[in-house]
Amino acid sequence: EPEVTQTPSHQVTQMGQEVILRCVPISNHLYFYWYRQILGQKVEFLVSFYNNEISEKSEIFDDQFSVERPDGSNFTLKIRSTKLEDSAMYFCASSDDINTEAFFGQGTRLTVV
């Protein structure tokens, strides 16, 4: 069964450092998303990406964040200068259509120290 794959599963980084979280969406999907879940809180939307550009982003997705689809398979989330409050589980998701269900990866747990 096709699945969304995220790497790494856990990343520890020092405050102020740049991190890149990687995702391989399901191959025939066209819509890509990043969400995050701070420990004990709800899952929050960060950004959606379609046709090689951002289609929607939340207030959380400020200038420190960027997304890229560098090739035909990967979808990355970059945080330029991490802050302690960026510590969270980051989920990548993809869907084949704007109205259908999104399939989620296992998540990357980011810990900023």
Partner 1 sequence: GDSVTQMEGPVTLSEEAFLTINCTYTATGYPSLFWYVQYPGEGLQLLLKATKADDKGSNKGFEATYRKETTSFHLEKGSVQVSDSAVYFCALKGTGGTSYGKLTFGQGTILTVHP
Please give the single-letter amino acid code of residue 85.
E
Based on the shown chain and the rule CB under 8 A, indicate whether residue 65 belongs to the binding site for partner 1. Answer: no
What CA–CA distance (Å, rounded) separates 67 from 48? 9
Tokens of 79: 């945080």
Q: What is the CA radius of gyration of the chain?
A: 13
Based on the shown chain and the rule CB under 8 A, indicate whether residue 101 belongs to the binding site for partner 1. Answer: yes
Based on the shown chain and the rule CB under 8 A, indicate whether residue 31 belongs to the binding site for partner 1. Answer: yes
Binding residue for partner 1 (CB under 8 A) from 22, 50, 66, 74? 50
**Which residue's CB is nearer to partner 1, number 19 or number 31?**
31
What CA–CA distance (Å, rounded) separates 15 from 42? 24
Q: Which residues bind partner 1 (CB under 8 A)?
A: 31, 33, 35, 41-45, 48, 50, 55-56, 91, 93, 95, 98-99, 101-107
